[in-house]
Structure 1
């Protein structure tokens, strides 16, 4: 938000009793909770919407807010009633969470005698299924990379690695050379050590295609990229940029996008697409969901089970098209 717009919002929030308390809560979130600028901006935007809702109802104090008022606000976010612009389920849920946090804070501080939002729950957000691409599309993307240059060898190794391991892009670009064990003769199983969310460490097998691509990159390309480093030593990173430093997430994204365009893949493709495709293709091939959970580094199998919905949809489509009495 521009500085002038933010000032106008602050002035609006200071205009009434509820607005002043919202400002105090936002200040608390900034100082005590250490929220980032982006998160705080989202809270401010959500609570400004709530402030305007209260003002339109003539509610001039937080003590006058009842559970019915908060419930009406939550419902209006989803339906567009009460003069509210309808939001997506996820945005509506985020806004209700912000309002619940505000009222909990005011009750704990003794500013209000009760918490009217305590039993008001966010609307259920629709489950967002991962987007996977077909095995054929993955293969076309991988084979579209020109491996005649050091940069091309790196690009092929990176994309093969992402699809072979299901790694998050942050995990891939954060790897050092010592984190990957590739047998020079490719006689033994190759493994990679990944560090996921919460610094959780896991070992993931590396398929033969990815192992060969990384071996080719390490032997024929990485030394040339490392030689471009400005200092005496290049970064210990596995994947280097053209200047010998660690490859960035943005650059990795651009590498995949360029390969997808060359391959003529029309679907929207991102590094996370390869992770989704990795999981979906494993499950379609008969892998157990708990094995896929371990490979992806999910803390809970519930997170992984969303991929079973994707494969179930595929099975339904095949059944409907193939079974003589399906329709």
Structure 2
């Protein structure tokens, strides 16, 4: 690195450490990213931050994706993370008056390829739910109710474990959840989830609550406190092992399956958007890709002239 580039980089990293309280791990990552950035600038003859142009930053981004003899090509997500450091660096220099403009602000990060949400067929969902309800203990009744609810309303795991008893309205078959940004939504409760939750509230929750100091949480752990997100993960992984289901399942698997099965059944994407609590329908539309993929698979295996 040249003296001026090194001085500017150290100034930004010191700002992050002292004034922003950025962790040592993040500082090391940013330092590595900017070292690679400085190496690229030197190879194209740029020796000062003020001499950098938007086109050169775009060229650096392209070089990250292409790789070199010294560096393997980066995936879109890794290249985007490196660009975050470069953009933060140039924004800092512009705000401090070290440069006349923020030349990195208009350089867009690469978009990673859309990943299809993982959903499992209904038959596997039913096997999973049955495995969670093995036995008649308070914990098994709780686990069955939790998984029925995750699949029955498409809740995020944080929304499910965050439920309080007052959020349930079994008389009107509905449940109130608080999602991202503290946004509330009222969701319909199907008969299977309602039955599982009712059984848990009557036959299991009082026994679990007796071990604690009193909490309004719906789902309780063995000590009578609110069930954690980590424990909810354990519940579904244990049930998946009992059901001998392939792959790695998580609470979000049931949310994905909820959305995919609704769309497969003919539900409107905007209705699914409201049920999932997505701020934008664009987020929900990725689930339609799952259904299209399923259509392709059925077509390929069934149509006489598909292959």
Equivalent residue for 1:279, pick from 256, 259, 262: 259
The answer on whether the counterparts of 1:76 and 1:82 sit within 8 Å (CA) in structure 2 is: no
Separation in structure 1 between the aligned mates of residue 58 and residue 70 of structure 2, nearest angstrom: 14
Helix, strand or coil for the counterpart of 1:202?
A: strand
After superposition, residues 18-167 of structure 1 pair within 5 angstroms as 18-29=5-16, 43-54=30-41, 59-81=46-68, 83-145=70-132, 146-167=134-155
Q: Please list the CA deviations of residues 172-200 of structure 1 after superposition, one character each: whole Å capped at 9, or x if unmatched.
A: 111111111113xxxxx411111111111
CA distance in 1 between partners of 2:160 and 2:235 (Å): 13
Q: CA 1:204–1:37 in structure 2 vs 1: closer, same or farther (change >3 Å)?
A: farther
Deviation at 1:57, TM superposition (A): 5.9
Write out per-residue CA displacement over residues 213-240 of structure 1, whole angstroms, 9 at most, x where no aligned residue: 11011011111001111xxx32211100
CA distance in 2, matches of 1:284, 1:33: 47
CA contact (8 A) 1:176 1:237 kept: yes
Structural RMSD (CA): 2.3
CA deviation profile, 1:274-308 (whole Å, cap 9, x unmatched): 11111001000100000000000000000000000
Per-residue CA deviation, residues 134-164 of structure 1 (Å, 9 max, x unaligned), is: 1111110100122411011111110111001
Counting matched residue pairs gives 306
TM-score, structure 2 normalization: 0.91
- The residue aligned with 1:304 is 284
- The residue aligned with 2:304 is 324
Query: Hey, what's the Cα distance between the residues in 2 that align with 1:39 and 1:311?
Result: 39
Of 239, 245, 252, the residue aligned with 1:259 is 239
Alpha carbons of structure 1 residues 240 and 93: separation in structure 2 relative to 1, 3 Å: same
Match of 1:244 in 2: 224
Deviation at 1:128, TM superposition (A): 1.6
Provide structure 2 residue ranges, at least 5 long, that are not aligned to the other structure.
Answer: none
Q: Is the 8 A contact 1:77 1:87 kept in 2?
A: yes
- How far does residue 71 in structure 1 lie from its aligned partner after superposition? 2.1
Counterpart residue number, 1:9: none
